[in-house]
A and B are shown apart, each in its own frame.
Chain A
Amino acid sequence: MLVAATAEFLRRHPPFDRMEAEALQFLGERVKLAYYAKDTAIITPEMGVMQRFYILQRGKVLVRREGEVGAIDYATMTLSAGECFPIGSLTARRASTNVYSALEDVFCYELAVDDYFALMRMSPEFNYFCTQYIASLLGQSRQQLQVEFAQRASEQQTMNSPLSSIIKKQPVCASEQTTIREVIAVMAGGHIGSMIVVDDEERPIGIFTQSDVLKRVVLPGVPLDAPIASVMSPDPHTLPLASSAYDAVLAMASFGIRHVLAVDEGGRLKGVVSERDLFALQRVGLRQIRQEIETAADIEVLAQAAVDVRKLALNMLAQGVGAEQLTQFISALNDTLTRRVIQLNLDRHDLYGIDWAWLSFGSEGRDEQTFSTDQDNGLIFICTDIMDREQTQLRMLEFARDVNDDLDRVGFPLCPGKIMASNPEWCLTLEEWEEKFLNWIRTPEPQALLNASIFFDFRPLYGQFHLAHRLRLTLLRAAQDNRLFLRMMAQNALSVQPPLGRIRDFVTDADPEHPGTIDLKKFGTRLFVDAARVLALAAGVAATNTAQRLRLASAASRAAGEEAASTIEGFNFLQLLRLKRQNFELEQGRAGDNLINPDELNQVERRVLKEAFRQARKLQQRLKLDYQT
């Protein structure tokens, strides 16, 4: 009867509510009930390696981080009935870094560590729960993030919550034929900031905001009886309901918009997510930073904004945001910064009559920037008259020099390898770029391959994007057909192996200058980046982002999607470790490097690291098979 009662209690709480009956029975039979008086400690770091798994039956437990100063200092949280702890340290078989104490009279079910592991083996559901938990711990606990938000916004939402959970009200809509007068009346009456215009099937076709009233109606003197369709902004940005708050933030950051419309599978409008809705979800205001950047009058302000971007990114890292979103996010904001620097310089440089585009290469080109990033950029322009070429290039170079210097002042150091737009070698006409690319492909000698690995990941940031698209078409057409080039690229990608040891877990002596460490970029992420580039070029995939390349290339080759997913997970984990490492280094006032000592990782991280390297090896094996190298 008591076992049944225990099981009954557990069944009311996740993850036990979904746990297999047999596993639940196992758990119910093995837990023991313990009592802790108010204000007594349940777990402390001094207790050493954790021996028990705790499920809170009654009362509240306070969790406090001991000593360690993170981005969220001394964060505390409370656990209540049904919650479990301390999963991370227990699974890693180490001491807890947190202090758990009874906030009131507490009764806890306790499970011995051996039974805990037995349960993990027995129950996929429990295993998933625990490993997911660990995954989120790798940044810092997502639950801490939730507590953080709960304190701020008194609502438990995270940047990972789907848009459907953020939307609170029914959207206010108008049809195309509604008059401006009616729309404004409704907006004024309900204190509504924006009105969505939908078609007969409720699909959004436009948006009309308060600020449009002045700019598009009052000033131009549009009659109030005109249909709203004549003054709305057409084609508003939509996202599926299942997208996360992050997707919305990213869309807002990338497109400079204030509202994102959530639509269902049929494209029907389900709600509006505004920046303000997302504000509550983050600490440093994204909008403030963007606004700061977009309206910055000089470089000093931009330099400050760059610091804010870094702070925001650190916060997100601390909040357990995934590496893929985070690096994309940093890239998106750095793009905005770069664009503003370019804009400011355009005031001083006359480029009238020239078609040109600013290109970024390397990690920026791949949307994969980490905290420490130097410049990798170039210029592409059109010169209709060959006689003007020298003159035009000089104008572009002068402009580029100023931009490069300003970017340096903003916080993107000059590229030691001189891969910058102010270098005449990388400030070229479309035809010259095409010629260079084709040469590298035709004659894949070592330097050409090295160049390919930097420049083929280009992405336009400012100016005439179609120039970059044309260059991309040329590249894809030439690369896809050139088997020899692809094979050489593959060989190049295989020249570095993941540092997995035969006897020891990791090879840590690859770099004589830093014994005992692994360079996560050189022996980690780069393996994925290089392999993904070959796969993408071979499959005619235009994307430059590594995760996207892997996804799209695997879709193109009809390979198992699962395989690509775990490859990407491995890549993301390494990126995350790099970000954490750089964060740490920056906090210590040093330039961020990519070196980690695997002995300093906990058991779980070591396990995941090993798995990530195994994924790199798998990816390399696939490349080997494809190209018989």
Chain B
Amino acid sequence: MSWLKRIFGGKAEPGVELGDAQRDSLAAWQRSAAADLSRPHYQTRYVVVDVESSGLDMNRDRLIAIGAVAVVDGLIDAHDSFATILRQDEVSTTENILIHGIGGSAQRDGIDPPQALLDFLNYCAKAPLVAYHALFDQTMIERALRRHLGVRLDAEWIDLAWVLPDLFPERIDAQVQLDDWLDLFSIENIQRHNAVSDALATAMLLQAAIARGAARNARTPASFIDIQKSRRWLRRST
């Protein structure tokens, strides 16, 4: 019964202790069916993610907040969104607070990190994840998951910073900042550097990408992943 072992006997970081309910919740997530990445965009649930952290150092800075918005069958449902603040034992610098606006007491009153992350996992289920400059979000989340839950996410990440230039080369054929794309589609970001707001704006970009992809023979999440791979490879080889 090796799969049982995998679920219940997973190697957590030393010091990770979960309650029964949390253990069940983690197991439920692990059991949830993997997404079929070959289904069309319009039959797929994407989760668009944005994180706020104590700084830009992916190896040392801590994850403070996660915002996520789902794009289901091409549509954004305001209800199907997620926001959490992870409790911080040590409040980030004032400079950092000024960026994301999550103040000291909000950081200290945040949700117990294992629980916050479990909530996040169960919100995502096994959906393909989408972000802009995804490497940062991915790394921050993976590190937090290992530390607090002792698990790996193993999700497919789609980075719009790679995908968008390929789909809209007539607009911008380069790696640029999120705001450049938002301007181009005149998407209003309600509150820049608020994780949910950034995720929503990114989700709207994903909608545009989906529509263009569907018209250009890139009809599935898998095809986006392919685009991203070949773009990266091109970049490396030139």
Question: Are chains A and B native binding partners rather than an unrelated pairing?
Answer: yes
Interface residues as binary, A30-57 with B (CB distance below 8 Å gives 1, 0 otherwise): 0111111100100000000000000000
Q: B211 is contacted by which of A3, A29, A31, A40 (Cβ under 8 Å)? A: A40
- Min C-beta distance of B151 to chain A, whole Å: 28
- Cα of A110 to Cα of B81 in the assembled complex, Å: 17
Is A34 a contact partner of B207 (Cβ separation < 8 A)? yes
Q: Is A219 an interface residue (CB 8 A)?
A: no
Give the complex CA separation of A37 and B197 in angstroms.
Answer: 22
A6 to B204, CA, bound (A): 14
Q: Which residues of A contact B200 (CB under 8 A)?
A: 2, 5
CB within 8 Å of B: which A83-109 residues? 105, 107
Interface residue range, chain B: 20 to 34
Residues from chain B with Cβ under 8 Å of A105 in the complex = 185-186, 208
Per-residue interface assignment for chain B, residues 63 to 89, with 1 indicating a CB less than 8 Å from any chain A CB and 0 otherwise: 000000100001111110101000000
Task: Check: A1 CB closer than 8 A to any chain B CB.
Answer: yes
Q: Interface residues of A: mostly helix, strand, loop or mixed?
A: mixed
Contacts of A5 in B (CB 8 A): 78, 190, 197, 200
Tell me if A362 counts as interface (CB < 8 A to partner B).
no
Judge if A28 is at the interface, Cβ distance under 8 Å: yes
B196 touches A1 (CB 8 A): yes
B208–A35 touching, CB < 8 Å: yes
Q: What's the Cα separation between A29 and B78 when bound, in Å? A: 7
| B215 close to A (CB within 8 Å) | yes
Bound: A37/B212 CA distance, A: 7
Contacts of B78 in A (CB 8 A): 2-3, 5-6, 28-29, 31-33
Known: A32-B75, A34-B75, A110-B75. A2 touches B196 (CB 8 A): yes
- Residues of the B chain whose Cβ atoms lie less than 8 Å from the Cβ of A36: 211
B61 contacts the other chain (CB 8 A): no
B159 vs chain A, min Cβ distance (A): 19
Q: How far is the CA of A107 from the CA of B197 in the complex (A)?
A: 16
Q: Which residues of chain B have C-beta atoms less than 8 A from A34's C-beta? A: 74-76, 207
- Per the 8 Å Cβ criterion, residues 169-215 of B in contact with A are 185-188, 190, 194, 196-197, 200, 204, 207-208, 210-212, 215
Kindly list the 5 A-B residue pairs having the minimum CB-CB distance in the complex, ordered from nearest.
A35-B207, A33-B76, A2-B78, A32-B75, A37-B211
Task: State the B residues within 8 Å of A (CB).
Answer: 69, 74-79, 81, 83, 185-188, 190, 194, 196-197, 200, 204, 207-208, 210-212, 215
Some 9 contacts from A to B, beta carbons below 8 A apart, are A1-B81, A5-B190, A32-B75, A33-B76, A34-B74, A35-B74, A37-B215, A59-B186, A107-B204
Q: A2-B69, A28-B78, A37-B211 are in contact. List 11 more A-B contacts (CB 8 A).
A: A1-B197, A2-B79, A5-B78, A29-B79, A33-B75, A33-B76, A33-B204, A105-B185, A105-B208, A107-B187, A110-B75
